[in-house]
Each structure stands twice: as structure tokens, then as C-alpha cells.
Amino acid sequence: MKKFQEMLMKDLGWKLLSIGIATIMWFMVININQPVDTRTYSKYITLANTEVLTNRGLTVKNAQEVAGTKVNIKIKSQRTALDRLNQSNDWLQVSVDFSALAEAADGDTVSLPVKVEMLGGYSGYTIVSKAPAAVEVQIERIASKELPIQISLNGELPKEALYAAPVLSAESVWIKGPASAVEQVSAVRGTINAADVQDNVPLSAKLSPYTAEGAQVQGVELGIREVFVTYSALTLKSIPIQVNISGVPAEGFVLGETTCTPQMIEVIGAPEALTEFIYLQLPDIDISGITSTVRKSFTVADYLPAGVSMKDGSSPVIQVSVQVSGSNSREIVLQSNQITVLKGESGMSYEISGSARVTITGEEGLVEDIEESALTATVDVSGLSPGEHRVLITLDLPDGVTAGYAYIDVFISEEDSSETES
């Protein structure tokens, strides 16, 4: 024992010095291999406990702006620990807690602190700073409204392609969010690429809210974010118009020509809807006891079968004229050179072609004395656009003689400006 004490105490100063040097060397090695460093990380803000507002019919007007705020966090730790954080900074969470807004009201602006924490129980990290350290939130009441969904085509369908109005998986959508943002929304639209349209193939369309000026509205929620749109191919068909005459005119009067304008219509519909649609049947026109020409108007849409419509979406009126004249009547032929254009426009050319058969009625002597070639007539072309038209003829006749309805073809075109100048 005495020998051990002597050995322990021998050169004690040098031994203590050696221990101190070893300790210093150990700390130096540790610091060289595990140096402490500071690095900056960026994370977006998570909104926590939003139900504190929504349960009271409130929301944050600038929620998207807050959630889109990038917070820069300076963290101090050993370099190897920071390297792990570089590989996955999911441990790091940045949030703004709405719990403090339990008493907030519509129109308030409140500053809330930005909270930074390390998840998963990791230690050895020191948060040096964060910027911004707080954000302002603007409180506003929640509003909602329902709007119809609008679908537009990006591009054009082939000219020969005919499709019915698209069928949507939903016809309307609810919009919800801050009142000021919801009020801006005037339309909810989706777009379909024309090149993707096929017969009965559902296509997905993402929905977005827009202002009346066409700007996209931010900060609102849509009840649905997409709809499925289905187009059905249609068939084009020309359909004749048929009208039946029933009864007989009064004694001493006879049935003359029946005219129908137009005589044909172009309709579109699904192939199965057009298979049995051979002609458009108008109601019978009864001329029992009639002593003068009967005129009737019929709106096409009232007589089309289900699933069939006009090609251009219009609903023209069909004009039917049934001539009833006295037994002292006579049919004449009117040539195009006997007809004058009325109310023509400057810069337009009007060409009358063909001839027209007209039944004239009156006192026997007057009807017989009329010279067919000496008759004149007019056609009123006011309001007619370039193209071919079938226009009603107005005959110049002596008193006591009347004429039935007759039409003639008039072709209207724009005059060549160079010819006009010469």
C-alpha cells in the first residue's frame, strides 16, 4: 500500500498536467469532428385550429397569403445534425395558431406569432431566429352562393362534326369563402380541348371561379373541383313540311294554290330520334265555307319531336297560304322582267330570275280583259342580306281584281367596288 501511494504521488504535477492536456486534446478532437454551425431553413406556414373561426361563421380573408408566406428559420446545432436536417426537414414545422382568435369579429385585423418547433422529440437544436416572427390575419365572415357551371371549348370542332349540347355530371357548384371574395365571383368555368371530343366519351374539366371581367378569383373554395362533360354526336337531316287542307270553300269559290315558306327545314338530332322523322306535319287547315285566301303561321319548335332541333338553334316561323278565289278566276304567268325591286340598298345588286304563276280573281269582264304581258309587279327586298331569297310578289291590278300569293327568286350580292367607281 505504501509503495502504491509513493508511485501515485511521485511526479504528481506532471501527471496532473498530462491529464489536463489529454482533456483539452479530447475537447479539441470533438470540436474538430463535430463543429457547431448555424444554417437557415425555409418553410411555409401551416394554419392550425381554423375551426375556432369557422365554427362561428368566420374565416381569414388573407388565408392563402398567410399560408403562402415563407418563414426563414436560423438553427444552431452540430454540423452532422444539421446535415440530417438538410436531408429531410419534415421535422421542422412552422404554424400560426388560430386558438387566440376565439373573440375575433368580422373586420378585425390581428397579429399572430409564428410558431416554430421540432417534431419527433429531436434535441440538440437551437432556434436562433425566425423571420417573419408574426403575421397579420384579416377576419371576415363566411359567405356562399350557387352558380351554374359553364363549359367552353379550347379550339374548334371539325366543321362537319355535329354534337348536342354537352351533358355535365353536375349543373351547378357552390362557392364558399370570405364574403368579399365570394361577391367577386360571377362565373365558374371549365375548359375542354376540342381535339379530345368524341361521341359519348366523358371528359374531365377542372373548374375555376372568375370575375365578370374574366380574372380568376383567389381565396374561395368550390364544392366540386371538376366535372365530367359528355358530347353526343348528332345527325343532320333535311325534312319536308307537309300541310293538309280539309273542307271545301263557299259555293261559287274554288281552292287555289297552297304555298308553304320554307318548304324544307334542316334539323339535327340523335340518329335514333331522326329515324322515324320523315316529314314535319303541320295541323290541318280547314277552309270550310271560306270565301278568301287563308294565311296561317306555325312556329317550327312547336311541332318538332323530342330530341330534334333546328341546325342553327333557331325556331323559324312557317308561313302557309291557301288560295281561295271566286269561280271567275284566271291563272297568269308573270315574267321576271315585269317585276321591279323596291327598297333596295345602295351598293347591292338584285337579280330576279324565273317566272311565277299567279291566280287573279274578280268580275268576269275585268279578269278576261287583263293582258298578261302588260302586268307589272314589285318585290320588297328591305332588310334582306346577300344570298338567294324567295320574295313575295305584289301585283299592280285594277280595282275589282285581286291576286293570290306568289313568290319569285331574288339573288342579292354586293356590287364590285371597282365596277362602281368606273
CATH at 115: 2.170.120.30
Q: What is the mean pLDDT of residues 166-192?
A: 95
Please tell me the total number of residues recorded for the chain in this structure: 422
- Hey, CA dihedral for 189, 195, 196, 197, is it positive or negative? positive
CA angle 168/217/66 to nearest 5° reads: 125
Q: Are 394 and 375 in contact (CB under 8 A)?
A: no
Give the separation between CA 153 and CA 151, rounded to whole angstroms: 7
Q: Are 114 and 133 in contact (CB under 8 A)?
A: yes
Those residues whose C-beta lies under 8 Å from the C-beta of residue 407, and which sit 6 or more positions away, are 259, 261, 356, 390, 391, 392, 393
- Indicate whether 56 belongs to any domain: yes
Residues 241 and 339 in one domain: yes
Residues 85 and 213 in one domain: no
Give the separation between CA 359 and CA 185, rounded to whole angstroms: 63
Residues 307 and 415 in one domain: yes
Bridge pairing between strands 355-362 and 401-403? antiparallel
Q: Are 296 and 245 in contact (CB under 8 A)?
A: no
- Indicate whether 12 belongs to any domain: no
Number of domains in the chain: 3
Q: Are 155 and 192 in contact (CB under 8 A)?
A: no
- Indicate whether 26 belongs to any domain: no
Give the separation between CA 422 and CA 391, rounded to whole angstroms: 31
Q: Which of 93, 111, 132 is the last residue of a domain?
A: 132
pLDDT of res. 11:
64
Q: What is the mean pLDDT of residues 193-215?
A: 93
Is the predicted pLDDT of residue 329 greater than 80, yes or no? no
Which of 12-21, 134-143, 183-192 comes out lowest in average pLDDT?
A: 12-21
- Indicate whether 304 belongs to any domain: yes
Those residues whose C-beta lies under 8 Å from the C-beta of residue 247, and which sit 6 or more positions away, are 286, 287, 288, 289, 290
Beta bridge partners of 296: 320
Residues 149 and 128 in one domain: no
Residues 87-137: pLDDT tens digits?
Answer: 776 788 999 999 989 999 999 999 999 999 887 666 778 889 999 999 999
Q: Which of 211, 230, 249 is the last residue of a domain?
A: 230
- Hey, CA dihedral for 284, 290, 293, 294, is it positive or negative? negative
Residue 124, domain extent: 36-132
Residues 259 and 347 in one domain: yes
Q: How many CB atoms lie within 10 A of CB 252?
A: 9
Q: What is the mean pLDDT of residues 178-184?
A: 94
pLDDT of res. 203:
95
Is the predicted pLDDT of residue 325 greater than 60, yes or no? yes
Which of 105-114, 154-163, 228-237 comes out lowest in average pLDDT?
A: 154-163
